[in-house]
Structure 1
């Protein structure tokens, strides 16, 4: 939805969708005692966790004979770069970070905060949105954050309508049974 709100073509949206689907696939190579640790990771564990982006790239590379996957690699590799240059794996800054990676960074962070993790409970949406605002221009591309924040109320209304439709369908099925 964010890609569409940004005016991306259908092909660009497909690249972003696949990048989003595969960006953390390398976590299969991270030991469970690190991945599921219910406390802060120590520096050695943090370095192991950071390796998931490159592990994801290694998993995807054999698929690059399919043209779409050649375009997926940058978003997967660089989704932990920060707009201020303090991210990883190589410390890219600003517009040097591929657009797909900048978008995934925002959406991945929202997803991480909105869901319960072994080390903390899910955060309410107002705190998530405030964190995006607070990190706009440092961790995240401010333009992407602005577009995301403008689009959230529309998505919430769409989601509410989808839930209402699903509830109506379930209700009809129950009545028919």
Structure 2
């Protein structure tokens, strides 16, 4: 697959399928979350005006953003109570582990382009994020895109430690943290576009199309 902005290798989908199958076996909840985030990251990139190649970078980066959780014990990921300091630090290391898992593929420019968004998807506009405490627009655009849709999905889905929240509550939280945690322009685009996204078919089979050869 190619465009005037960059090339996506023909084997990208096989590579994605191989990596994601490992995550699916170990942690099917995180696997499903990653599929949804990849899909929404592509849509937000599109609606924010990014070109087709950049949309694909956002999609694959979102797909892989939490793959490093394969190295986090399930007792931590599914813990119903608050994480202790050691558990919290281990969880905070997952963007770096995700980057490390994808890095061997980065000999190709497309996979190299995924690494900043994967590593940076928990950076905050106010510089209080992790792992590198990057500030504002120095945070890669794809990382800022993933943070918005990742937060939406994490808050709206039921987890071991709480029930999923309704959209109006999640929207309010995105607005409240706009400019401190989230890129305010991306929050605005998301809030304007998301209702339209919900009218589209959004099931796991749709999300999984990215990692099928026929995509």
Give your verdict on TM over 0.5: yes
Residue 148 in structure 1 maps to residue 166 in structure 2: no
**Residue 83 (structure 2) aligns with:** 41
1:57 aligns with 2:99: yes
Counterpart-to-counterpart distance in 1, 2:68 and 2:172: 29
- Equivalent runs, 1:11-160 vs 2, <5 Å: 11-156=53-198, 158-159=199-200
- 2:207 maps to none
TM-score (norm 1): 0.88
TM-score by length of 2: 0.72
The whole-number CA distance in structure 2 between the counterparts of 1:4 and 1:102 is 14
- How many angstroms apart in 2 are the aligned matches of 1:31 and 1:84? 30
Measure the CA separation in 1 of the matches of 2:73 and 2:125. 29
Structure 1 vs Structure 2 CA RMSD = 1.1
Q: Which structure would you say has the larger Rg?
A: 1
Using the alignment, how far apart are the partners of 1:154 and 1:77 within structure 2?
Answer: 29
Q: Which runs of 4+ in 1 moved over 4 A?
A: none
Deviations 1:100-150 (A, max 9, x none): 000000000001011111100000011010110011001101011011111
1:94 and 1:61 map into 2 onto residues whose CA distance is: 25
Aligned length: 160
